[in-house]
A and B are shown apart, each in its own frame.
Chain A
């Protein structure tokens, strides 16, 4: 009797330890500030959010891919624009309702980033720059363009686009500015050290550049600026070919049953309050380029030329280009 009672008690206890009912919204993300913003959102509106962070952008998208035509998220918040086109084509996200999108007060960059397909709504942006260790490379030798990277062949750190959303955005933009065949040839000349060209995250690029394993790196500019602000000897140089702006995009799950709460979340993120929450931290993603009218960036950047990515081409070639990169530059 005693034993049975204690067994029952143990069962009860462990059941109690399980979290209670699911929240109002399910958010999949791979952004540093998402959890913080969700918390602020819940505080402001009372709407609860389950924040699911499976890992990198790649891993998050992998989870969504495995979920197939039965996506479990209400909101997806990751870096990238092409990827949303693809998700829309696969039926994983639905178009942002016009009234929701129109309610946001975008600045010029924001307006430019808003896709015609309405596959996502931009909440901020970043771009890819060349990261330079100022103690290892003299200022006169700074590369000014992607083409200049040939001077650093074998000492360039780069991210695997298969693991990083921003890295794919960069690869697609790079092919757009430098041409696909010429671009492939250039990369083949530059990325000759597989130990440096298949890294998994911006943090690893920073580490490679800071330790001197690599002289320069191809990295998300917010990641470089975060290190710079932290006092590390690095600087971001924007290539003369022009930079593809990488929006942090927010998409709506194709099967979402909570459109009202989703609209509230989008309204909050594009409000000054939500934007403040997005800047309230020291990690990479907090250093984004604002796309909302009147929001000041957390750190100033040098002037750069933005080009607009051909999302359609980027989305169409995604599998092919990623595979090419993997086969060419990723060890294993």
Chain B
């Protein structure tokens, strides 16, 4: 990127700038004519100069080209013109003036829209250029970048620069030439008077705000899209190691390009609206002279108005100050954005590329050894972190780097995984320097699992399969407007929504096979049970087919039958239309079903007019608001000290961390005055909280027998009077039908497990699992479990689950070398042992390098290096170790079966 803003703009938008400048030049004659015609109206039509010598008609629109003397003089007639009487002459000239006014407005409209689009295109390019530079940072440097700052720079700080880009050349040219033209004309005429047309201003004050509403809506959309873009860029910075390890630069760029395209479309629409409003504004301003010329002229001819007054009004209507003022504003903005641009560029400039080596596209074979020789890493003060380390790692092999956390072991792992490029000595795979491997080569060759792997907001499936998104789709056809615009902005022509999966590298050939492979990899990393439970929490509607539907209904009957046979039917409280279900939420008890629409989800039910009518009819409104208030008080008291997004909020499940302040305000309002005085929104919020309450789970002692009886009555009314348009929004509990919006577990149990009976969930799970296996539903549930949303940064999961997903993400890619840095820490010792064995089995013909705290975990590894502080050496006891894993290490399919059992 050029350090000079004006050069950068000119380099990338020369054609568009020239096009607009030509438009400006073309507009000037029309502008001149719009100034000149009024003079002719006054002089020729009104004062009658065209009708001197007693002529009752005069010629208008006669054009001829005078010939010079050396060509014999005379002229060439292009148009003979038309004869008009004085009134006709006046009308014709007035219409001619109107024509030039329209032309001037049209020129302004086109110039402004072009200018806006040009600015947005350049802003899109500038943001993309900055993001591309960020992706090329060295791993050490990108970790030092503060995500919020980078996102702010790319998104917010360049915003005013983008706004200025459209004006950079065009504004001074446009305003300057207009001002000069007007000035020249005025000098020629020597006439200046001023008057304001109040009536037109009043019309403008009424009409323009109405038209601006859509403009404001688009402005809000733009703000939201900008904020989302900033959030995603921030997240990508957090995920930089993930992107780097798996070579997802192209994929990530495609997503950002697409988001920028969406933002562009909003802003293009905004500009069209904005300048349409401006066009109308200008038209209204300019229509005044039309009325002055036509009606005022008519009145002057008929002797009802003095011509001198009319001319004074017309002349005063135009003025020079607006363009001069705007030119001054432009100069101020120029100074401001030039500084901003230089500051932003300096943050991204002079950053070396990912490495200083010439990238090499090599793929060292599976037997090419890894050699580290004299490797030293020091901190900024020169303190050695890794001292003169040497190792020759034959491949394939399994190597443990054992030592305390933050000893040299982690640095060795990071060097091999290309997470550190700033070290002395040599690190090579065969003849290739590790630092010189191209991004794509290293992504295919080396997998890396850091401590607490990076997860992004999305499903488990997406978090695992992202490692395979290397297969860029064919570039978009630039005949399509979307792609043409992307090309003009220097953005990628790759469809972010296409299937990017590299099935071959995962050993699969289709999405279905890939799904099976994802489940297998998660089994290796110990996620099977969690995946199954997530699946049981998933919506039936997302998986239901005819075959699955019948099996789920059968499962429901069989489970109830077996619970009865085992005399544990009390462990699942069934849905019974005549009974209050204490294990269900208050809302569930009121509706006796599940909400199937987004409109009624969350606080939607609490604010729904029909539902509120039923609640009011049963006098439940204020009791429920009081329950909500008590829940809020408990939550605010207990959770206010916890950091935002802490898993304990999910455990409580009723209030999100970012809602605590809202509830604190509501409590203060409610306690300082009666709950009846709360705003409608506040009442809805508290009632929604009461709706989510389950007595045995939350145990605040808020559901009384009287309340239960009222809820049962309200349930009956709710169903009886339900309007027809609500039928698709509520699914009532029906013994022979699935509730598509409800979780699998609720569907097959047709009730809720008792929260307060010890081991109820385990005892029920035994029966549930048996039946699901017998009906071959387990795989269906796993697949649904893959759609579980891990939350922002994976916060909806525990550390062990996040690590399991990070491991699976690398296993699915089947890298030749897999580096695990402290990846087993979240697992318990028993889990750790089995997960290590299963991963070793998966990697039996490839190289595994893992850092471990304890040498006892490393006993089965082929080679061990031990570390104390910055020094590391090969363990003596490993000289006779195997170069291939023990036969005791079972094959992957056998292990998966074992895991499932």
- Do chains A and B interact in one complex? no
